Amino acid sequence: MAVLVTGGAGYIGSHMVLELIDAGEKVVILDDLSTGFRSTVPSEAVLVVGDVGDQDLASRIIAEHEIDSIMHFAAKIVVPESVADPLTYYFNNTVKTRALIEAAVPNGVKNFVFSSTAAVYGNAEAPLLSEDIPTSPINPYGRSKLASEWMLEDASRAHGLRYAILRYFNVAGADPQGRSGQSTPQATHLIKVAAQAALGQRPYLDVFGTDYPTEDGTCVRDYIQVNDLARAHLAALHHLRHGGDCITMNCGYGHGASVLNVINLVKKVSGVDFEVRYSPRRAGDPARLIAKVNRIRSLGWEPRHDNLEEIVDQALRWERALAERKAA
C-alpha cells in the first residue's frame, strides 16, 4: 500500500515526503506545481502533476497505486489574500478537498490526514489554545479549513473514513540535512521573509501592527520546526493505522514569540541589522496564537528542534543555498 501526499512538492509537503520515505513508505505525490517545485521531489517518490480537485485523476491514482492513506497539504494559505479573494480560498481549500474526499471514499482509502490551521480558533483569548475550545475563525482562510474539517467528520460518520486533523501554528525552518526548505520566493512566512531581508534579498521587512494587546504590541505566534511537524503527521498516521480513534490535534510547542522577538533573533543569528518598517495591522491577524500540545504528545511525539535560534539558523542556511543555486 502507498501514501498519497497532495501538495508534496511544496514546503511542508516535501518535508512530509522525506519523512515517509525515511520511514520506508511508498509515496505518490499529487501537485500542480503552482507553488511547489519538481526539484524537491526525491527519486524514490512518484510525482503526478495535476489538480487535487480533479476527482477522476485522484480516483485513478488511488486505484493504480493502491493508496490506503492520503495526506492532504495542497491549499492556499495567505490570510490577507483570503480576505481580499475569499471565493478563491473556498474553491481551492474547501471545494477541492470535497472532491478529494469523494475520490477517497469509494476507492477504499482508509486514512485521511488533513493539514488544518490554528486560524480556526480566531481571536480566542485563552493563553493556551486547546482543541476543545469553540472554533471561531476570523478570516476566510480559517473558515475554508474549518469547513473541510466538518466534511471529514461527516464523511467519517457516514462512510467510516478515518481521519486525523492537524491544526498548525506557525511553521518555520528547513530540513537539517539541507534536502528541502521554504522555496517560494514571495512566501509570507515571517522567519523566511526576515532571513531574506538579512541576506539582502529584500530591501526591508514590514511589521504589520504594533498596537496588539501583547507584551511588545506585535503578534505572538507558536513556531514549530517543519521536520517536527512532518513527524507529527507520521505519528498521526501510525495512530490511525493501529486502530486509534479519529483525532484533531494542535501542532506547536506550547510557547510563543512575538514578531519583534523573531526579528531581533534573525538579526542576532545573521549578524545583519536590516531595515524594519512599521505598517498598520493586516486584516484577519489574531493577536496571539499558542498551542496546547498535550494531545499530540499523547501519541508519543516529542519535538527535536524546539529552539527558535536553531530554526532561524536553518532558514538562513536554506536561503543561502537557494541563492547559490540561482547564481550557479
**Whose CA is closest to 188, among 167, 215, 208?**
208
Distance CA 146, CA 149 (A): 5
11 is catalytic: no
The 3-state DSSP class for residue 117 equals strand
Distance CA 249, CA 27 (A): 23
Catalytically annotated residue among 141, 163, 223, 253: 141
Q: Would you say 250 and 167 are in contact if contact means Cβ atoms under 8 Å apart?
A: yes
Compute how many other C-beta atoms are within 10 angstroms of the C-beta atom of residue 168. Answer: 22
**DSSP states along 286-323:** -SEE-B--HHHHTTT---S---HHHHHHHHHHHHHHHH
**DSSP states along 161-175:** -EEEEEEE-EEE---
Distance CA 103, CA 53 (A): 10
Amino acid at 302: E
- For residue 279, the surrounding DSSP H or E stretch is strand 276-279
Residues 6 or more apart from 297 whose CB is under 8 A from it? none
Distance CA 41, CA 137 (A): 33
Residues with catalytic roles = 141
